[in-house]
Structure 1
Amino acid sequence: MPYSLYLKPYRQPIDLINDLKGKNLLFSNEVEAEKILSQISYYHFKIYLHPMLDLQGTNPKVYRSNSFFESGVELYRFDEELRILMFKAIAKIEVKLRSRLDHLISRTTSDPFWYLDNSLFFIVRNNTYAIDSIRDKISNDFNREKELYASNYRSKYYNDKHDKYKNLPPFWIASELLSLGQIYKIYDAINHSLPTIDFDNLAKEFGAKDYKVLVNWIRCIRDVRNRCAHHSRLWNAKLSIPSNLNNVLTISSPNKHRPYTTIAVIQKMLKKLQIQNLDLRAELEDIFNRYPFANNHMHQAGFPTNWNTDPLWIR
C-alpha cells in the first residue's frame, strides 16, 4: 500500500465549528463551544458526536436534523463520570483480589514468599520467563520505592526462597506495588489445577463459577480500568465479552461487547463480596438521569432498557 504525505493542517476551534455547521450540526452557544474545543482535543472529542450522524442518508458525514453540538458535550461528560465511577468500583475489587489470593496460598503453603515458588505456576519446558517477568517488575519497583516500609525491609531482610530474587519481600508487601494488570498476570500464571489449593472456592468468593471464569473476569475489568486510567472513551467501547454471563445476568445485553456486561460483572463481584459503601446501581441511575442524551443511547453502551430491574441489581 503506497504512503501519502500527511497534509491536513491544524485548525482553530472556530474553524472546527464552521466545519461542523457546514455538516448540519447546530450550536446553542458557539462561544462556549469554542472554549470547549480549545480545552479538549477535537480528535478525542469527535467520537461523541458520532451518534448524531445521518448514517442512513446520502452523506454519512452529515448530521441528522436538529442535532446539537451540546448533545456531544453531554455524552462526553457522561463518559467522564462513568469512568470515575468504574475506577472507584474496580479499586475496591482490586484490594480484595490481592488480599484473598495471598491469604489462600500463604495459609495453604505456610509460605509468605509463595510467588517466588516456581512449582505454583505454569512452567512450559522449564521456561520461567512469564512469571520471572512479573518478579522482575516487582523487584525494580521495590528497589526504587521510597516509602519507609520498603527502605526498612531492604535495610534488614532477605529471603532464601529464590536465588535471583533474594531482595524481594513477602507477597503481602510486594502486592502493594502491583497494578491490576500485574495482578491479572499472576492469577493467569498460577497453576490452578494443583490439588492442594482450592482455587475454585476462591473464585466463588468473587461470584465466579470457577477459577478460569474469575481470571477471565479480572482481564475484562483490567481492560475497563485501563480505559479509566488513560481517560479513554468507555461508554460505547468494544470490549471482550466476560465468560459465564448466564451466571450474572437474567436480562440479556443488546450488545455483549459493550461496557455493560463488564459493569455487570463488577456489580456481581461487589455484591458477592458484600461491599456496602458503594451502591453502583444508584450511582449509574443518577448519571443517566443527569445526562438524558446518554440515557437515550444506553443501548450503545450495552445497557438493556430495563437493566436496573435485573435481579443482579436488587440487593
Structure 2
Amino acid sequence: MRALIFTAIQSIEIALRSKVIHHVSLKHGAFWFADETLCINRTTFQDNLTQIRKEIKRSKEDFIQNHFEKYDTPDVPPVWKTLEVTSFGILSKLLYNLNDVNIKKKIAREFNLPQHVCLESWIKSIVVLRNCLAHHARVWNRRFSQKPSLSYSLRGNWIDTTNVRPAKLYALLSCLAYLQDNIHPNNDFKVRLKHLLAQYPNINTHAMGFPTNWQNEPLWK
C-alpha cells in the first residue's frame, strides 16, 4: 500500500510542480517565489524563502552547482531550477500563499477541479499523507488531522461523498485516483489498489473508511 500510494503522490507532485512553474512564471517571471508582493501572508513568505535557501544550499545537483559558478545574483536560481530541489511541502505552501487567484484557478482547472481552494485542500492532505509514509507511520486505519474537502461537484467520475469520512484513508485514495485520472488517463492506480485489497481480504476496509459497494462508484469502475 505504501509503495502504491507513494508512486501516485510522486506523479501528482511532478504534475503540480510543472503547472505551477509554467503558469506563474509566464505571468510573474522566473523569481516570483522571491517576490513578497505576490504573497498572501508575509510571515509564511519569509518562512518559505528561508527554507528554500536552506534546501538550495544543501543540494548537490550539478545544475545548482553550475548555476552558482556562473551567477552571483540573485541568491536563488530561477524557479525551474529552484523547485526541482525543494520539497513537496514547500511547493504546496508556495501555491497556498500565492495571491494571484486567477492563476490558481487555472491550475485547478487543469486538474479538472472547479476551485483552487479544492485543489489546495487536497494537496495539503496529500502532503500530510506523504509525510506519514515517509516516516513509516501507520496510515491504513489512521484518522488524518488534515482532511480533503469533498463537498465540491466535480466534472469527472467521482464518488458519493454523503457518508464518506474525510479523515480516513479512503477519502485520500479517492482524491489520488481522481487526480491520477486527469494526469494520466491510462494509469493503473485503481486496478493495482483493487488487486492489493483482493490479496488481503482479512484487512478491515471499513477501518480505512471504505463504504459498502465502493467499487460500484463511478470513480472506481
Shared fold per TM-score greater than 0.5: yes
Mapped contact 2:164–2:209 kept (Cα < 8 A):
yes
Mapped contact 1:251–1:307 kept (Cα < 8 A):
no
Higher relative contact order, chain-length normalized (CA < 8 Å, sep 6+): 2
SS where residue 177 of structure 1 aligns? Answer: coil
Mapped contact 1:101–1:202 kept (Cα < 8 A):
yes
Q: Which of these residues, 61, 73, 77, is aligned with residue 147 of structure 1?
A: 61
User: 5+ unaligned residues in a row in structure 2: which ranges?
Assistant: none
Aligned partner of 1:120 in structure 2 is 38
User: What TM-score, normalized by structure 1, do the two folds share?
Assistant: 0.65
- The amino acid that maps onto 2:148 is P
The alpha-carbon deviation at position 192 of structure 1 amounts to 3.5
1:169-223 superposed Cα distances (whole Å, 9 cap, x missing partner): 0111001112111112111111134xxx432121111132211111111001111
Change in Cα spacing, 1:254 to 1:265, as seen in structure 2 (3 Å) is: closer
Mapped contact 2:56–2:86 kept (Cα < 8 A):
no
User: What TM-score, normalized by structure 2, do the two folds share?
Assistant: 0.90
Mapped contact 2:150–2:166 kept (Cα < 8 A):
no
State the identity as a percent: 29
Rounded to whole Å, the distance in 2 between the matches of 1:186 and 1:225 is: 17
1:106-148 superposed Cα distances (whole Å, 9 cap, x missing partner): 1123x1111111111114xxxx331121111111221232221
User: 5+ unaligned residues in a row in structure 1: which ranges?
Assistant: 1-81, 160-165
SS where residue 244 of structure 1 aligns? Answer: coil
Aligned partner of 2:139 in structure 1 is 234
Aligned positions, number: 216
Matched, 1:302 2:221: no
Q: Which of these residues, 160, 185, 200, is aligned with residue 250 of structure 1?
A: 160
Greater Cα radius of gyration, structure 1 or 2: 1
Rounded to whole Å, the distance in 1 between the matches of 2:161 and 2:51 is: 41
RMSD: 1.7
1:89-120 superposed Cα distances (whole Å, 9 cap, x missing partner): 000000011110110011123x1111111111
Aligned partner of 2:6 in structure 1 is 87
Change in Cα spacing, 1:185 to 1:273, as seen in structure 2 (3 Å) is: same
Rounded to whole Å, the distance in 1 between the matches of 2:173 and 2:163 is: 11
1:39-79 superposed Cα distances (whole Å, 9 cap, x missing partner): xxxxxxxxxxxxxxxxxxxxxxxxxxxxxxxxxxxxxxxxx
